[in-house]
Amino acid sequence: MNKQISRRTALGLLGATMTSATALRAMPARAATDGVIRFGGSLGMSGRYAETGLNIRHGYETAIKYINEEKGGVQIAGKTYSLELGIVDDASDPARATTLIQRQVDEGVDFFLGSYGSNVVLPCAGITEAAGKVTVQVGGSADQIFTQGYENIFGFFPRASRAWVTSIEFFKSIEPKPKTVSVMATNSAFSKLNAQAAAAGCKEIGLEVLDVLELPEQVTDSSSALATLRARTPDILITTTVDQNSLVIARQMIATETNVPLLYQFLGPQLPAYRESLGAKADGVVMQLPWDESLEFTDPTFGDTQSYIDYYNATNDRPFSYHTVGASSCITTYIEAMKAAGSVDPLAVRDALDAIDIVTAFGPVNFTEDGDGDPILMGAKIGQVQGGEIKVVYPENLRTAETLYPTPTWAEKG
Amino acid sequence: MTGTLFLQTLVDGLILGGIFSLSAVGFSLIFGVLGVVNLSHGIFVLLGAYLGLALKEAWGIDPLMAIPLVFGALFVLGGLVQITLVSGAVRRGSLMSSLLITFGVSLMLRDLIILVFGPDVQSLSSSWLFDTFRIGGVIVDGARASGLIASLLSLGLLSYVLYRSKVGRAMRATAQQDFAAGLCGIDVKKIYAMTFGVSAGFAGVSGIIVGLINPFTPFDDTHWTLNAFVTVVLGGVGSPVGALLGGLMLGGISTFSSQYVGSLYPNVFIFGALLLMLIVRPNGLLGNAYKGSV
């Protein structure tokens, strides 16, 4: 009996100590604020999209940490709120993501941050829309997300079919004028949709589309497609593949001496891992550039882009990517919308997001009527790897380097 | 041009097949000797790639030079996994328990990789990686050529061990009849552990080759397990020559269907061939569909 009481007492003391410690640790943040704004959502922190998922999570965390710790929370309609992040791992799996999002909706979360990958964002948007909850996301741009009449979802990128506006204009601006183009895609909705949009845009400006080559969803061998390219070499090769597949294709192009005057990879070269893997061979590769650190913007939370970068680097070990900055700007956008609405009511915030017109560290934020990013204001810039760094080569008013075209062959790159 | 394209496709197929063979031989050996369908095979392939990466980053060891170290490390790890975890499934003689245990092992090892290396895309690099050779109009790149050579050498070495050494004889005897092998004085438990170790070692070596050619993430293991399964069904269980033939067949089907039918369709032809083989010749080209074929 004595032994039982003793164990209970010990457990009780341990529990009381832990509870007190937790309460004490939480007190300073809570004591200074009148409430907590909780952001929910899921992210692929494991699974096939984990790399980008982690980049996005770091962006969310950085903004929330900065607002809570450096600014003491946010003032909305005279009340001070601290922010809380309730992001969970969906393992890049749409089925798991929808289950997790439904649970958060049931728990009363009002504001959602998006996952990564249109195949995950789209079904989650259906759930939050039905529940009247708001989502701001930086990970999905498929047309279907924005063309179903959803009123509560906002995306930082223009929808996929409009994502090629800048790129097509860029192709038009290249001198000497390219005449032919080939497109390489994988068997996924994202890749195929972008390939169709790219091919259609190229045709419109008079480029002859030689081939649209399709590969399996996970590319391990593209040698056959590359043999076709060598037999019928275009002036521009566009790949609309995700990061890992883009790297496979580029490495195999180098290894098989498959040279094109311009290699344009929609995703991949933006990542440091891609450029480290290819070294000097990455020079000349062109990409869509949703954001670049050389572009300086003001930011209502951090002050400006450089201050954001400095704070991020001081508080994180992981290198930032454009998704990271976009994710931080999602939080800033939410906060500015809440301030404009003077409320944390989801419908009022939704209306404020509809009308928002601000500049963040990521760039201008202005959504279309359907909720996707304005194709001009939020459309991608065009970047090219030069000397191991990404330079902005289009549009001309933001240019940090001239376009290198035609690019040297792989062998000439050293 | 048509002739050159055909030759290029053939060479690409042979090279790809060589890599498939090397990555599958361990799977084949474990199935042949232990009767275990090793669902953790793909993760051992990836462990090889990640160990190669760690050795390169820590000491600057060229991935190809790291092959013996990786083989040794995974031999030990594979042996330990067999002794501590898989042996239970072997004792029960249940296919389902072997599937569950090896699947569990793959999940644990995958999480370990994520913990140590993170989920990001990684790749192995080397100064000679992008060197290319031209033979007539046919292009062969350094990474793939070295992959094929390493595959042939490794498979040749394994064949030698299996058919010319005392340990190899013991493995084959255990595969044929473990009880009788035990009666003849063979330490069956030790042979099981060694077989698993050798298989894990070969998977690791193929991981180095795979990592030199393709970027990898911790989530690619199922792809390599599935490839190994198809290779083994095509070539036959337990035989290195069977694995080589199966791998070459798989590589050929993949590249020829991609080139002449469409890059989108190799999986259709690969799994079509798998079904056809199971119907027409369930034992594969060489070997036996069931235990006892080494």
Q: What is the pLDDT of residues B140-149, one digit of tens each?
A: 877 788 878 8
| Residue A141 shares a structural domain with residue A176 | no
CA distance A209 to A206: 9
Residue B292, pLDDT > 80, answer: no
Q: What is the pLDDT of residues A81-91, one digit of tens each?
A: 999 999 999 98
Across the interface, whether the CB atoms of A223 and B120 are under 8 A apart is answered no
For residue B263, give the nearest of A213, A252, A279 by CB distance. Answer: A213
Q: What is the pLDDT of residue A8?
A: 54
| Residue A282 shares a structural domain with residue A334 | no
Residue B163, pLDDT > 70, answer: yes
User: Nearest-CA distance from B215 to chain A in Å?
Assistant: 6
Identify whether A6 is part of a domain: no
Q: What is the pLDDT of residues A215-247, one digit of tens each?
A: 888 888 888 888 889 889 999 999 999 888 999
- Which residues in chain B touch residue A117, judged by CB atoms under 8 angstroms apart? none
- Which residues in chain B touch residue A213, judged by CB atoms under 8 angstroms apart? 263
Q: What is the pLDDT of residue B92?
A: 74
Residue A298's beta-bridge partner residues?
A304
What DSSP character marks residue A357? Answer: -
Q: Is A229 left (phi over 0), alpha (psi -120 to 50) or beta?
A: alpha
Residue A33, pLDDT > 70, answer: no
Q: What is the CATH number of the domain that holds A170?
A: 3.40.50.2300
Q: What is the pLDDT of residue A9?
A: 54
Q: Which residue of A has its CA nearest to B111?
A: A46
For residue A254, give the nearest of B122, B130, B215 by CB distance. Answer: B130
CA distance A86 to A107: 11
Identify whether A372 is part of a domain: no
**Whole-Å CA distances, B267 to A215, A229, B9:** 10, 22, 17
CA distance A133 to A105: 8
| Residue A233 shares a structural domain with residue A359 | no
| Residue A48 shares a structural domain with residue A153 | yes
Identify whether A374 is part of a domain: no
User: Nearest-CA distance from A401 to chain B in Å?
Assistant: 28
Q: Which residue of B has its CA nearest to A319?
A: B120
The closest alpha carbon to A215, from A187, A194, A252, A255, belongs to A187
Identify whether A336 is part of a domain: yes
Q: What's the whole-number mean pLDDT along residues A310-321?
A: 93
CA A314 centroid distance within chain:
21
| Residue A179 shares a structural domain with residue A41 | no
Structure tokens at A162: 């409009």
Q: Which residue of B has its CA nearest to A45?
A: B119
Which comes out higher in pLDDT, residue B244 or A129? A129
Across the interface, whether the CB atoms of A231 and B114 are under 8 A apart is answered no
Residues 6+ apart with CB under 8 A from B23: B45, B203, B206, B207, B209, B210, B224, B227, B228, B231, B247
Q: What's the whole-number mean pLDDT along residues B271-281?
A: 86
- Which residues in chain B touch residue A279, judged by CB atoms under 8 angstroms apart? 125
Residue A29, pLDDT > 60, answer: no
Q: Which residue of B has its CA nearest to A216?
A: B264
Q: What is the pLDDT of residues B193-213, one digit of tens each?
A: 888 899 999 999 999 988 888
In a mutagenesis test of the A interface, which of B130, B135, B225, B268 is the best target, namely the one with the most A β-carbons within 10 Å?
B130
| Residue A273 shares a structural domain with residue A386 | yes
| Residue A206 shares a structural domain with residue A171 | yes
| Residue A253 shares a structural domain with residue A180 | yes
| Lowest pLDDT segment from A186-195, B43-52, B120-129 | B120-129
Q: What is the pLDDT of residues B175-194, one digit of tens each?
A: 877 788 888 888 888 888 88
Percentage above 70 pLDDT, chain A: 92
Burial profile B58-97: b = 16 or more Cβ within 10 angstroms, e = fewer: eeebbbbebbeebbebbbebbbebbeebbbebbeeeeeeb
Most confident range, picked from A305-319, B97-111, B117-131, B227-241: A305-319
Confidence band for B6, pLDDT divided at 50, 70 and 90: confident
Q: What is the pLDDT of residue A181?
A: 96
| Residue A63 shares a structural domain with residue A210 | no
Q: What is the pLDDT of residues A69-113, one digit of tens each?
A: 999 999 999 999 999 999 999 988 899 999 999 999 999 999 999
The total domain count for chain A is 2
Residue A14, pLDDT > 60, answer: no
- Which residues in chain B touch residue A251, judged by CB atoms under 8 angstroms apart? 123, 130, 213-215
Identify whether A197 is part of a domain: yes
| Lowest pLDDT segment from A377-381, B196-200, B263-267, B288-292 | B288-292
Q: What is the pLDDT of residue B238?
A: 67
CA distance B234 to A403: 50
User: Nearest-CA distance from A317 to chain B in Å?
Assistant: 13
Confidence band for A28, pLDDT divided at 50, 70 and 90: very low
Percentage above 70 pLDDT, chain B: 96
- Which residues in chain A touch residue B119, judged by CB atoms under 8 angstroms apart? 45-47, 50-51, 53-54
Residue B44, pLDDT > 90, answer: yes
CA distance A113 to A135: 5
- How many CB atoms lie under 10 A from the CB of residue A10? 10
| Residue A222 shares a structural domain with residue A277 | yes
For residue A227, give the nearest of B120, B259, B266 by CB distance. Answer: B259
| Residue A236 shares a structural domain with residue A306 | no
Instruction: Confirm if B22 and B231 have CB atoms less than 8 A apart.
Output: no
Q: What's the whole-number mean pLDDT along residues B4-12?
A: 84
| Residue A245 shares a structural domain with residue A144 | no
Identify whether A175 is part of a domain: yes
User: Nearest-CA distance from A302 to chain B in Å?
Assistant: 28
- Look up the domain containing A302 and give its range: 30-157+294-365
Which comes out higher in pLDDT, residue A284 or B271? A284
Alpha helices in chain B (DSSP H): 2-34, 41-59, 67-81, 87-92, 95-117, 142-164, 166-176, 178-183, 188-213, 221-235, 240-260, 266-280
Q: What is the pLDDT of residue B288?
A: 58
Q: What is the pLDDT of residue A343?
A: 93
Across the interface, whether the CB atoms of A223 and B16 are under 8 A apart is answered yes
Q: What is the pLDDT of residue A12?
A: 54
Identify whether A21 is part of a domain: no
Domains annotated on chain B, with CATH: 8-280 (1.10.3470)
Percentage above 90 pLDDT, chain A: 61
Residue A18, pLDDT > 80, answer: no
Q: What is the pLDDT of residue A6?
A: 56
For residue A255, give the nearest of B119, B132, B217 by CB distance. Answer: B132
Confidence band for A27, pLDDT divided at 50, 70 and 90: very low
| Lowest pLDDT segment from A48-57, A190-199, B1-10 | B1-10
Residue B287, pLDDT > 80, answer: no
Identify whether A18 is part of a domain: no
**Whole-Å CA distances, A231 to A369, B4, B289:** 45, 10, 42
Q: Is A386 left (phi over 0), alpha (psi -120 to 50) or beta?
A: beta
Q: What is the pLDDT of residues A249-292, one digit of tens each?
A: 998 898 888 999 999 999 899 888 888 888 899 999 999 988 88
Q: What is the pLDDT of residues A141-150, one digit of tens each?
A: 888 899 999 9
Confidence band for A372, pLDDT divided at 50, 70 and 90: very high
